[in-house]
Amino acid sequence: MEVEDEIRSRLLDWALEPLAAVNAPRVLLVFPCSRPTLLAVAAHERQELETSGGGKFYARKLYVFAVRRSWQRKKLGGQRLSNLALSAALQDIENRDGAVPVFAYVHRKNARSITLCRRFGLTLELTHPHVDYRWLITPPARARRTPG
């Protein structure tokens, strides 16, 4: 329910906030052609991260990624909707910023999201300040993976 609440209450504010422009927020929405029902949403933004040695680099944070509950595990055009939507988000990141690291904060009990992130190359797990969350990130010299 956290993700649904975030989408309903704050996603547009996050994307349209004038001060957010520096982070170049992007929102991708998936609708079926037949009716205006939101099937999936992905949003990402640029973040400056710091290494343990004090160096800085840019990465893309997956701010939110969600698939409508009734469409989870369902296929569209022969592929799972979750794969199509996350693939589109990662392609958008690559088109915009090149092969930058991508990271996401995922609740430790959200096994489906953890599996999906790992399938798309977010395989490094780093500590997160909140004990209930994992920080998943692509390896520094990542080659973007697209599951078959």
Taking only the tens place, the pLDDT of each residue in 4-30 is 666 777 888 888 888 788 888 888 888
Contact 68, 37 (CB under 8 A): yes
Predicted local distance difference test score (pLDDT) of residue 86: 93
Task: Enumerate long-range contacts of 7-10, CB under 8 Å, 24 or more apart.
Answer: 7/41, 7/64, 7/66
Predicted local distance difference test score (pLDDT) of residue 70: 86
Predicted local distance difference test score (pLDDT) of residue 59: 92
Mean pLDDT in order along the chain per 10 residues (148 residues) = 67 81 85 81 90 86 89 88 92 91 93 94 86 88 46
In the beta sheet, which residues pair with residue 124? 137
Domains recognised in the chain with CATH numbers: 2-101 (3.40.630)
Dist. CA 91–CA 98, nearest whole Å: 9
How many other CB atoms sit within 10 Å of the CB of residue 53? 5
What does pTM read for this prediction?
0.80
